[in-house]
Amino acid sequence: MILKFKKYQGTGNDFIIADNRDGSLATLSETTIQLLCDRHLGIGADGLMLLQEKEGYDFEMKYFNADGKEGSMCGNGGRCITLFAQESGIQKKHFHFLAIDGPHEAHIRSANIVALRMNDVNSIQEQRGDFILNTGSPHFIRLVQDIEQLNVVKEGRAIRFSKEFEADGINVNFIETKKGQDIIQIRTYERGVENETLSCGTGATAAALVCFHNENGLNNVTVKTRGGKLLIEYIKMGKHQFNNIWLSGPAHFVFEGFIDLSTLNHE
């Protein structure tokens, strides 16, 4: 089979995206997806997405992690596939699509700025100074100092594969805030990739909710990832209640191509 694909990235979080509205890619195996995402044996990406038909929606987003398994919601992926949908003939600026965690809205605000509405969050668990919450994917948040010197892979892997989280996995985010600045700096270890990624949209969203600046009402928080800046806007309704959550930032087409799946090394 010849796979036609496009590569996109959102603040350095990169994805292989293919149009599966005809259903021809439904048989992609876990091993094939792993190899496609492998940065030495395939195209290379943090994940793979399929654009699919879904009655009542502009499209359905089906997301796979780099390990080949279907993943939970990916915020940067949702922003990138929205741009891909428009460039694949769905001529809109406002989209309504279905992902694994339910319906989402997405707006293309300018040529490369895409805003994605995330699901409401009604629970944050505090655990010995750390925070656990789900923004479409489960996230662990730890505040640190001198984030640039942190061994994110070592520290993140220790938490992700700890007894508490090993079975289902969790994304681990380390954040640093500086007094007098409204910008959060973040580094993320992602499950499914099992490495540090340059950006994680659901992780940036989780960090922004933990670091609100208005006790109630409208908040807007800039999160600096290693791949660029994301803006998270939301309304804080109560102690652990947040709604009207929007994740926005740049998304870019990188390149397109064809790959013969039969040439991938399956040994």
pLDDT, position 266: 59
CB of 49 closer than 8 Å to CB of 77: yes
pLDDT at 179: 66
pLDDT digits (tens, 9 = 90+) for 176-195: 997 666 799 999 999 999 99
The whole-number average pLDDT for the span 192-204 is: 98
Mean pLDDT computed over 102-116: 95
Catalytic residue among 37, 80, 200, 211: 200
Average pLDDT, the chain: 96
* Active-site residue, from 37, 74, 80, 211: 74
Q: Where in the chain is the domain with CATH 3.10.310.10?
A: 2-108+252-263, 125-250
Could you tell me where the DSSP H helices lie in the chain? 30-37, 75-87, 152-160, 201-210
Domain formed by 125-250, architecture: Roll (3.10)
β-sheet bridge partners, residue 74: none
Q: Is 200 a catalytic residue?
A: yes
37-46, 109-118, 171-180, 254-263: least confidently modelled range: 171-180
| pLDDT tens digits for range 131-150 | 999 999 999 999 999 999 99
Q: Would you call 211 a catalytic residue per the annotation?
A: no
Element holding 244 (H helix, E strand):
strand 241-250
Query: Considering the chain, what percentage of its residues have pLDDT values greater than 70?
Result: 98
The fold of the 2-108+252-263 domain, in CATH, is Diaminopimelate Epimerase; Chain A, domain 1 (3.10.310)
Q: CA 200 from chain center: how many Å?
A: 5
- Predicted confidence (pLDDT) at residue 71 exceeds the cutoff of 80: yes
